[in-house]
């Protein structure tokens, strides 16, 4: 039976430390401030922004809340981001994705000043992450949280076989780069990989970020491996009080008896993400 990596408890500990760090900055007259930019009326995006605001406020950080409606143009959005770049009271800038249809997301992400790019998604920060021996201004929050969860297992990553399922810019690719920097031997699998399971079966470390409910099952895992399940999937379940339940990309029931360590969904990677974002804002303010 696997050891459960309790992301909720680990994130709580980190938040206690970050609350102290925020208090120290406030005592020095610096209010660590995150600016968020929300475009349009996507309710899911609004929920994510609200969650980030709530966490910031709880820990003593300041917020600048920018909203553009459905009539906004690319130029309007660029003007907002540029003004935030120029505002010395703003330490971190986060543009909530997705943008409106027709807007150029890459251009907006790259417009954010690298030293305020607390999501770490801009080409400069990603490039620095990819290059050996270079240090990005910020690590993307979810991958950084995953590395902390791996550290909590106490298992050394050097020389281990790591397999990442998924190659997105926000999770799969950056986590693979971080594992490589931690001296693991990394394989990235994706939707065109012929036989994902054949790779997984030799992996000491498995990170699954595919967005496919219960894609990875226990028979695909090497006994004793570490499994980090990033997926968050809502599946219909008439028996559940809300009519649905949340499952990961890993089938918990079969994986938990094979793995050595495993993150639950919910309560694994999720709680780490906003925590690491706040750490980035404090780091920016401290600089």
Q: How far apart are CA 141 and CA 150, in angstroms?
A: 14
Nearest residue to 112 (alpha-carbon basis) of 126, 130, 100, 133? 126
**Contact present, 176 and 168 (Cβ < 8 Å):** no
Candidate list 210, 255, 258, 284; residue touching ligand NAD; CB under 6 A: 210
For the beta sheet containing 205-208, the strands, ordered from the edge strand earlier in sequence to the opposite edge, are 3-4, 261-262, 226-229, 205-208, 161-165, 185-189
Torsion of CA 225, 226, 229, 230, to 10 degrees: -130
Minimum Å distance from CB 176 to ligand NAD?
Answer: 11
Give the residue with the Cβ less far from ligand NAD, 76 or 202: 202
**Contact present, 285 and 33 (Cβ < 8 Å):** yes
Q: Return phi, psi of residue 271, to 5°.
A: -60, -20
Stretch that binds ligand NAD, among 105-113, 123-131, 159-167, 176-184 (CB under 6 A): 159-167
Candidate list 62, 92, 166, 218; residue touching ligand NAD; CB under 6 A: 166
Q: Which residue is catalytic, options 52, 116, 160, 222?
A: 52
Pairing, β 92-95 against β 261-262: unpaired
Return the residues of window 216-255 that contact ligand NAD according to CB under 6 A: 230-233
Minimum Å distance from CB 231 to ligand NAD?
Answer: 4
Contact between 209 and ligand NAD by CB under 6 A: the answer reads yes
Give the residue with the Cβ less far from ligand NAD, 122 or 166: 166
Give the residue with the Cβ less far from ligand NAD, 128 or 232: 232
Contact between 276 and ligand NAD by CB under 6 A: the answer reads no
Which distant-in-sequence residues (6+ apart) come within 8 Å of 86 by Cβ?
none
Candidate list 215, 258, 282, 284; residue touching ligand NAD; CB under 6 A: 215
Q: State yes or no: is 28 an active-site residue.
A: no
Give the residue with the Cβ less far from ligand NAD, 120 or 270: 270
How long a stretch of residues is the chain? 287
Pairing, β 62-68 against β 33-39: parallel
Q: How far apart are CA 182 and CA 146, in angstroms?
A: 12
Half-sphere exposure (Cβ direction) of 103: Cα atoms closer than 13 Å: 22
Q: State yes or no: is 119 an active-site residue.
A: yes
Q: State yes or no: is 52 an active-site residue.
A: yes
Contact between 167 and ligand NAD by CB under 6 A: the answer reads yes
Candidate list 53, 190, 201, 245; residue touching ligand NAD; CB under 6 A: 190
Give the residue with the Cβ less far from ligand NAD, 84 or 269: 269
Q: Token pair 């459960």 is at which residue?
A: 4
Candidate list 187, 189, 263, 280; residue touching ligand NAD; CB under 6 A: 189
Return the residues of window 123-152 that contact ligand NAD according to CB under 6 A: 142
Which distant-in-sequence residues (6+ apart) come within 8 Å of 122 by Cβ?
109, 110, 112, 114
Q: What residue ranges bind ligand NAD (CB under 6 A)?
A: 142, 165-168, 170-172, 189-191, 193, 196, 209-212, 215, 230-233, 269-270, 273
């Amino acid at each position: 039976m696997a050891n459960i990596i309790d992301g909720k408890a680990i994130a709580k500990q980190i938040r206690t430390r970050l609350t102290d760090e925020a208090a120290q900055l406030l005592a020095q007259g610096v209010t660590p401030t995150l600016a968020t930019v929300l475009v349009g009326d996507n309710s899911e995006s609004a929920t994510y922004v609200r969650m980030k605001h709530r966490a910031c406020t709880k820990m003593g950080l300041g917020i600048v809340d920018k909203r553009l409606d459905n009539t906004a143009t690319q130029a309007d959005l660029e003007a907002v981001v540029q003004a935030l770049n120029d505002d010395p009271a703003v330490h971190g800038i986060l543009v909530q994705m997705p943008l409106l249809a027709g807007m150029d997301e890459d251009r907006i992400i790259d417009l954010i000043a690298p030293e305020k790019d607390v999501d770490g998604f801009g080409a400069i920060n990603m490039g620095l992450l990819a290059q050996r021996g270079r240090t990005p201004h910020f690590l993307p929050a979810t991958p950084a949280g995953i590395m902390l969860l791996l550290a909590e297992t106490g298992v050394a990553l050097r020389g281990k076989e790591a397999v990442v399922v998924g190659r997105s810019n926000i999770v799969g690719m950056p986590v693979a780069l971080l594992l490589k920097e931690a001296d693991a031997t990394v394989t990235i699998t994706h939707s065109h990989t012929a036989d994902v399971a054949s790779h997984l079966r030799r992996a000491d470390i498995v990170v699954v970020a595919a967005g496919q409910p219960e894609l990875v099952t226990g028979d695909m895992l090497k006994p004793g491996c570490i499994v980090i399940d990033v997926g968050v999937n809502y599946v219909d379940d008439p028996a559940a009080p809300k009519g649905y339940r949340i499952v990961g990309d890993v089938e918990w029931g079969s994986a938990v008896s094979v793995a050595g360590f495993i993150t639950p969904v919910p309560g694994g990677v999720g709680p780490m993400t906003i925590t690491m974002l706040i750490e980035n804002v404090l780091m920016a303010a401290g600089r």
